[in-house]
Chain A
Amino acid sequence: MSETRPNVLLVIPAGKEAQQATRAALDLAKARGGTLVALVVLDPAVSTRAASALSDVGFMGEELSEQVEATLRDEYRAGAEALLRALVEQAKRDLTRITPLIEQGDASEICGRVIDAHAVGVAVLVAEKHSWLTRFLAHDAAVQLPALSGCEVRVMEED
């Protein structure tokens, strides 16, 4: 199926370095003659976690919690926009077509939707590396990847 769908999806976790994966995805899109769909998925849990700590442990009112949450949300979006701007420049230099996207929510659900909507044949995923300490403190998995189906998946590590 991937041959009939030339586009390549690059999924970058917000705030992570993914130059190797970016290079690979650009090369792949160029080789397949398709468009690179660059997607940054913002995880809403990141901004709500700090706000919850403020409210549940610091006993602050909702005004301050909302302020912190909004600041974090805006900051992550600004970071994602900057990342995609740089990626668009890089794609232009490489003469590769690119569609930048920023979405917020569940990565698996969003990726599934984007794969269908943009006729994606290959998805390049950036696996977030989590140190043992982060895993211990945040109860996270060693590597986080969205569950994908409907296209070929290539997993690359973050830089």
Chain B
Amino acid sequence: MAREREVVVDRRPLWVILAGRSRKTLLTLCGALLYWIVAAMPLPAGLTPAGQKALAAFALCVFFWVLNVLPLMITSLLAIILLPLSGVMQSSQAYALFGNEAVFFILGAFILAACLMKSGLSSRIALNILHRFGHTPRRLLLSIFLLNVVMAFFMSEHAVAAMNFPIVVEIVSVLGLQRRRSNYARALFLAMAWGSSIGGIATLLGGARAPLALGILKEATGQSYSFLEWTLLTLPLVLVLLVSGYQIIVRFFPAEIDSVQAAESALNERWLKLGRPSYSEWAIGLVMAATFVAWIIGGEEFGLANIAIAAVVALFVLRVVSWRDIERYVNWGVLLMYGGAIALGAAINKSGAATWLAHVTISHWASSGMTVVLLTSLVSILLTEAMSHSAVVALLMPVSLGVAHEFGLDPRLMAPVVALPAGLAFTLPIGTPANAIAYSSGYLRIWDLLGPGALLEVIAWLTFNAMAYWYWPLFGLHVQ
């Protein structure tokens, strides 16, 4: 029997329907128009012609990054071709910035993380910790939280969340926790997402935004931070977030279960299945440990990127990984994204556009170095809830260097002021892939992230500014 088909009449105005269907095309045209407006406007006082063209390219890329008109890395490629085509810098200069040390440090760190995951060493570490310490609901929750924090010291926070997600799902499943009803399930997924984000700000390995900020800083001023210096700068914030993050989770979502014996058995079984560590696990573990030590004690002398790449070569010499394995774990778009962002940052700094932009924007609202830090960190933390962490750094870092120049601040100060808050996305699923994964599990409602996340965000922002005011002067970074 043939089914009758109903005719559904869409009564919305035509322009609404067309706009909805061609959003990206319209936004692309708006971006092009924005570029043309900035490039063609009468030259403002204090801005050079090259600065104006760099500013036009910057405006277009920021527009595309914020509204996700094109994939992030393609927008970066667009920046690379716009800069030479508009005469801001020569092609050879623009393309050379893809070879920036920061880009190769990020690449090396991603490849090392890929080796950790491929060998199974990262899963072994995770299961070892969980089956040893997770005997009660509280201890299991704390173990998951700390595990994610500590693992994100050594590898990308996104990789940590993705890697530990199946483990958390299995725990929730064997415990029979109900979707959208179980407080304990909510707590476990939040511990995974927040733990990886908090750990991700602690070192230069937790995310690519800190190396990106340092890459832009070095291109503009020739200055940077050592691996240890960066870790020490972030330490108080990480400690405060560790304590407050865990407290918020257990207070908002008190566990409704008394025993995690089923999870303990499942973790034990998985742990036993792993057997003894393989040769490649030992080799990768030793190379990682040696690399970490080398970054700390020899990072300034030998260069962070050189050490990272040397470690990658060592893993291939030891035959513990193949190129095909690496390709499955590393997204090569990362090189395009960061290379393009660094080139754009260099262009707007060297052309004087950053200083001009700082003069006409933040300088109007900020009256001192401390207000600059307060405002910049606030903007960074708010933007990172809605857009990629790296895009926030690419957007704010060049402008912040101009602001530092305007207020006579040490430009080195601006790297942590932009990059650290850019990693503090606790509130929305779109803020970071870790939140998106946790939310997609179906165990969290949007309000479960929003309320507790906003509280943690406020604590993070206040702690960050207190740290900048009282703690950073110990490292010669003065906000006044």
Contact = CB atoms under 8 A, between A and B. Distances in A.
Contacts of B447: 131, 133
Given A15-B442, A133-B450, A60 B429 contact: no
A15 B169 contact: no
Interface residues of A, number: 38
Given A60-B162, A137-B429, A79 B179 contact: yes
Contact of B72 (A50, A57, A67): A57
Interface string A10-26: 00001101000000000
B166 A61 contact: no
A61 B3 contact: no
A137 B428 contact: yes
Contacts of B329: 60-61, 63-64
Given A60-B162, A60-B331, A131-B446, A150 B433 contact: no
B333 A133 contact: no
Interface string B101-119: 0000000001000100110
A71 B450 contact: no
A60 B207 CA distance: 11
Interface in B319-356: 327-331, 333-334, 337
A60 B208 CA distance: 12
Interface size on B, as a range, is 35 or more
Given A15-B180, A54-B437, A71 B327 contact: no
A147 B430 CA distance: 29
Contact of B441 (A55, A75, A147): A75
B440 interface: yes
B361 interface: no
A79 B437 CA distance: 17
B4 A58 contact: no
Interface string A124-135: 000000010110
B158 A60 contact: yes
Contacts of B3: 112, 115-116, 149-150
Contacts of B173: 75, 78
Nearest to B6: A149
A15 B117 CA distance: 31
Contacts of B114: 61
Interface string A102-119: 000000000010011000
A54 B158 contact: yes
Nearest to B450: A133
A61 B330 contact: yes
B163 interface: yes
A137 B430 contact: yes
Interface string B151-187: 0000010110011011001000100000110000000
Interface of B: 1, 3-6, 8, 71-72, 110, 114, 117-118, 156, 158-159, 162-163, 165-166, 169, 173, 179-180, 208, 327-331, 333-334, 337, 388, 428-430, 432-433, 436-437, 439-442, 446-447, 450
6 contacts: A63-B117, A67-B163, A68-B162, A72-B441, A116-B1, A131-B447
Interface of A: 14-15, 17, 46-47, 49-50, 53-65, 67-68, 71-72, 75-76, 78-79, 112, 115-116, 131, 133-134, 137, 147, 149-150
Leading 4 A-B pairs by shortest Cβ distance: A58-B158, A150-B3, A50-B440, A59-B334
